[in-house]
Structure 1
Amino acid sequence: MKALLAFAPLFRRRTPSLLLALLLSLITLLSGVALLGTSGWFITASALTTAGLAFNLFVPSAMVRGFSFIRILARYGERLVGHNATLKLLSDLRGWLFAALFPRLPLPDRSLRHGDLVSRLTADVDALDTAFLVAIGPLLGAMFIGAGMTVLMAFVLPAAALPYGLAMALAVLAVPTALVTVGRRAGQKSVAANADMRMGVLDGLSGLADLNLLGALGTTQHRFAETVDAAGYWRLHLAGLSTLGGMAVQLLAAVALVATLWAGLVALDAGQIEGPVMVGLLLAVLGSFEATAVIVRSVGKASGAMAAAERLQALTDIAPSVMETAAPRDLPQDGTIAFEGIGFSYDGGAPVLADASFVVFPGERIAIVGPSGGGKSTILKLLLRLFDPQAGQISIGGVALTELRLADIHAHMALLSQDSPVFIDTIRNNLLIGRWDASEDDLWSALQRAQLDTYVRALPKGLDTVIGEAGRTLSVGQVRRLCLARALVSNAPVLLLDEPTDALDRQTEEAFMQTLATGTDGRTVIMVTHASIPEGTVDRVLTLQNGELTVA
């Protein structure tokens, strides 16, 4: 519950919509109770009146129709407003989560696998939609209805007020509380098992070729089947608890109904209440327990929502790899980048960089080459201040990176990595990731410098052409050029290129290198690569070996 309360500020943003949904839910429940009560009273009174004489049929029949229409319209409005508010709330949650994650990337917790992270960003956020739709809203509605009916009973049938109130309180508060307490562990296990299933699917798909090659596909399938069985078991466990809760609520409803019937018959015999009114109260009692059924059905989801909230909160509790400076300085006009005696290692392991020093002047293009695992990509991560070095200093224009705002550093540099993604969207929107307010002329200019404009102009929809998942409707070279164009759109004065020609054939690689030479003119370029560097592509080539940089 404490984890759910951490999201209270996000709920407050949607307070007007959520309150309106709650009001419409109350109107729905009230009209339902009134409809049953009025119908019971009307039918009984009509039956007891000889041939319907001396009984006004029009008013109660109009009331029945009126409550029916009110119930239908209020239910529709409650669903419309409630679901709209919930979807906006989920959007707020994802925005909050991404904003909390960015300062923590790359995540230092190596136990968080890719599939687990995807599960938390998708399924765990979706699980929180139950917090209002099937938990808070129905709970408040049932409490209001129960209190109102108890007050009504106290005036009309006092002997039934206390047993009804106790039965309703137990159904609204005690039963759900007991189910949540008992089902807490099952909810956690269910969420974890579902996350394991998603991880199994993602890991299996991404590593399918390797699994086939190593003959481990059967073992993986067996392990995944065990995960599915575990998820099914915990879902059945939660469903069993919900069934028990539903049975308990029905028993309490029966107790309230019998108590009302007994008190009503006694009052009827004493002439203190009329028969039609007693029947109307009985049906109203049944109708008032409608909201409690929704609460009980949501217990399994509520337990899962709490577990999901804890998993999301655990992500935000991870300490960032780097901390913002308390008194940041403005980015200097001089864009000279200097590495001075940099020493760095991951998690206290073997040194990756040892006394690495070099200077890159504004507008200069350099390439850093060296063996795989030698620390070339680490240089770019340190430049983006994803990590801080354990020794030495990195500076821009003589100002240490640790004295600058992270946002200014990231706006100053654009990264084109070997796995830069493209998304299932239009070419335009893929480019606008680089700079959301770029004009159409800016986009075409970037495509021209990346030598992709001719291809895009030939497409029927041009910039509005939708590309497939991971850019599968494009060739590998075109995907790389599109990513380069996106980096150029950013207007960042420094371009960081991490193995930009990885997985390209030799001819495409040489063409892409030439594109870099012409398309990045006027910008500072720092490229790390295994590829051979064509003459004239860069100004200098540095070799990184044993943690030190030397001129090639």
Structure 2
Amino acid sequence: MKAILAFAPLLGRLKGPILLTVLLSLVTLFAGIGLLGLSGWFLTAAALSTLGSAFNIFAPSAGVRGLSFIRILSRYGEKLSGHDMTLRLLSDLRAWLFAKLFPLVPLARRYGRGDLVSRLLADVEALDTVFLVALGPISTAVLAGAAMTVVLAIFLPGAALLYGLLVFAAVLLVPIGLVLASRAAGAEVVAAGAALRQAVLDGIDGHQDLVLFGAIDQATNAAATASQQLSHARRRLGLRAALAAALVQLLAGGALIGTLLAGLAAREAGAIDGPLLAGLLLAVIASFEASAMLVRSATRLAGAAAAADRLQAIANTAPAVTEPAAPLPIPEGGELRFEAVRFGYDPQHPVLDGLSFAVRTGECLAIVGPSGAGKSTIAQLLLRLVDPDAGTVRLNGSDLRDAAGAELRQRIVLMTQDAPVFLDSIRANLSIGRADAGDDELWRVLDAVRLAQFVRGLPGQLDTLVGEAGRTLSAGQARRICLARTLLSRADVIVFDEPTSGLDAETEAAFLAELPELTRGRTAIVITHAVVPETFDRVLELRAGRLE
């Protein structure tokens, strides 16, 4: 629960909508209690009346109808306000989470894909309704129980104490006990759900290889095991919820019987009449309406507590790199230098070991080598997504660890092998590279990457929408959009990490042959498996973290 309380500042921003939702919930509940109580009094009084037409049926009838309308309207307003507040909370929650995640990039080494997806989706969803289905109903039930206790203290004092104790147990002790008893099962549900997502994603991503290597059964068994664990955890959670629901109903029954016995005694003593007793009994029943969903609320709260723990864990993870306390400016130019750099994702098994090389300003350099040699790690070090375990990476003589991250990313830009084309216009995709680029600059860069003629032939030209992930473009056109976006940047250094991934051999050769000319005047480092054309200034071969 401590992890949920850590999100209190987010709820504090929405105190207005929260208070409105609670108020409307109370109006709905009180209208329901009043409706049932008034109906019980009215029907009983009408049945016992011997006055015939002299009995006033109009005022109680009007009261019943009025309370019915109030209940309908307040219920609608409660749902409208509650869901609006929940959507605002979801927006704030995602903004908070992504703000925490950005300094942690890249995340792949710390969290599996399925686990990360689970935290970003399922765990956030578990929290975005925590008020709507948990905290709100519990608060409403407590206030309604307190109000009904006051009413009984006025009209039927003999029943007030017992009712107060039983309703207190039903709306507070049982939910709290269920939350405590369900913490382990709730955490297991969250963890098993993440494991199942991971197994399913692995099966989808690697389906072709699983079929080719006959490993379908192994993948299926992994998913089935995760599914069984999830099912078992949910059954445990469901059993606890069923027992808690039964206990709440027993408490409600006890409150009703206690009120009835106290009422009969008061009726015998002449302290209360029959219609009022009937109304109070039905009002007691109605007051427990809020407790009906408290078990479900408490179960959701247990799952939300586990989700909050996981979100806080990822948010409190130490970043891979830290900003310098007093950042130093980077001198002009694009000269790069690796000085005896050692780095390993596991420090005991370095990917790069004593790597040293230099790149002159304006030079176009290719780095080649087998998979796992450490080529992409060089790109991460240059962008300072990670810091070396030993040695130094310098730009124009300045240690990258002394530079502000924002300035560094203005001076060095990266185009990755999976750089995306977004579901937006061509103009918007290009403007990511430089937001203030005018149309003339956009056309020049498109012309430079040999895409201008194609774009001019489109109905909307620069404002033409491209499909998600560039599906309306060929692979070569999508890569050239990403290249144009990268070239628009004013960065002194451009790093290309497998920029021709997914291209056919002919397109790949043409793409690489053009890079030295396209990056002329700026330092370019191209990390690739492909055959490097002679237009490059130099080629370095990396093997097992060292230059050959």
Please give the TM-score of this superposition, normalised by the length of structure 1: 0.92
**CA deviation string 1:17-57 (max 9, x = no partner):** 22221222122112111121122222222223346533332
Partners of 2:372 and 2:544 within 8 A in 1: no
Give, in angstroms, the shift of residue 164 of structure 1: 0.7
Tell me the secondary structure at the aligned position of residue 117 of structure 1.
helix
Q: Which blocks of at least 5 consecutive residues in structure 2 are unaligned?
A: none
Match of 1:6 in 2: 6
Deviates more, 1:50-59 or 1:12-21: 50-59
Match of 2:389 in 1: 390
CA distance in 1 between partners of 2:303 and 2:50 (Å): 57
Distance 1:36 1:438, change over 3 A: farther
Partners of 1:49 and 1:55 within 8 A in 2: yes
CA distance in 1 between partners of 2:463 and 2:173 (Å): 56
1:505 aligns with 2:504: yes
Deviates more, 1:143-152 or 1:365-374: 365-374
Q: Which amino acid aligns with 1:542?
A: L
CA distance in 1 between partners of 2:436 and 2:75 (Å): 42
Partners of 1:341 and 1:391 within 8 A in 2: yes
Distance 1:545 1:84, change over 3 A: same
Aligned ranges 1:382-461 → 2 under 5 Å = 382-424=381-423, 427=426, 429-434=428-433, 446-460=445-459
Match of 2:189 in 1: 190
Give, in angstroms, the shift of residue 163 of structure 1: 0.9
1:67 aligns with 2:67: yes
Partners of 2:342 and 2:350 within 8 A in 1: no
Match of 1:269 in 2: 268
Tell me the secondary structure at the aligned position of residue 328 of structure 2.
coil
Partners of 1:119 and 1:195 within 8 A in 2: yes
Match of 1:36 in 2: 36
1:229 aligns with 2:208: no
1:76 aligns with 2:83: no
- Taking only the aligned residue pairs, the percentage that are identical comes to 54
Match of 2:476 in 1: 477
Tell me the secondary structure at the aligned position of residue 286 of structure 1.
helix
CA distance in 2 between partners of 1:280 and 1:332 (Å): 83
1:18 aligns with 2:10: no
Give, in angstroms, the shift of residue 86 of structure 1: 1.3
CA distance in 1 between partners of 2:38 and 2:76 (Å): 22
CA distance in 2 between partners of 1:5 and 1:356 (Å): 49
Distance 1:131 1:351, change over 3 A: closer
Give, in angstroms, the shift of residue 291 of structure 1: 1.1
Give, in angstroms, the shift of residue 515 of structure 1: 4.7
Distance 1:425 1:294, change over 3 A: farther
Deviates more, 1:169-178 or 1:318-327: 318-327
- The count of residues paired between Structure 1 and Structure 2 equals 547
Give, in angstroms, the shift of residue 202 of structure 1: 0.5
Give, in angstroms, the shift of residue 358 of structure 1: 0.1
Tell me the secondary structure at the aligned position of residue 135 of structure 2.
helix
Distance 1:205 1:142, change over 3 A: same
Match of 1:541 in 2: 539
Deviates more, 1:18-27 or 1:368-377: 368-377
Please give the TM-score of this superposition, normalised by the length of structure 2: 0.92
Partners of 1:513 and 1:534 within 8 A in 2: yes
Distance 1:449 1:63, change over 3 A: farther
Distance 1:245 1:547, change over 3 A: closer
Partners of 1:135 and 1:302 within 8 A in 2: yes
Partners of 1:498 and 1:529 within 8 A in 2: yes
Q: Which amino acid aligns with 1:31?
A: A
Partners of 2:335 and 2:523 within 8 A in 1: no
Q: CA RMSD in A?
A: 2.5
Distance 1:259 1:465, change over 3 A: farther
Distance 1:390 1:122, change over 3 A: same
Give, in angstroms, the shift of residue 193 of structure 1: 1.3
CA distance in 2 between partners of 1:449 and 1:50 (Å): 99
Match of 2:98 in 1: 98
CA distance in 2 between partners of 1:462 and 1:283 (Å): 70
**CA deviation string 1:173-194 (max 9, x = no partner):** 1111111121111111111111
Distance 1:481 1:108, change over 3 A: closer
Tell me the secondary structure at the aligned position of residue 100 of structure 1.
helix
Distance 1:296 1:205, change over 3 A: same
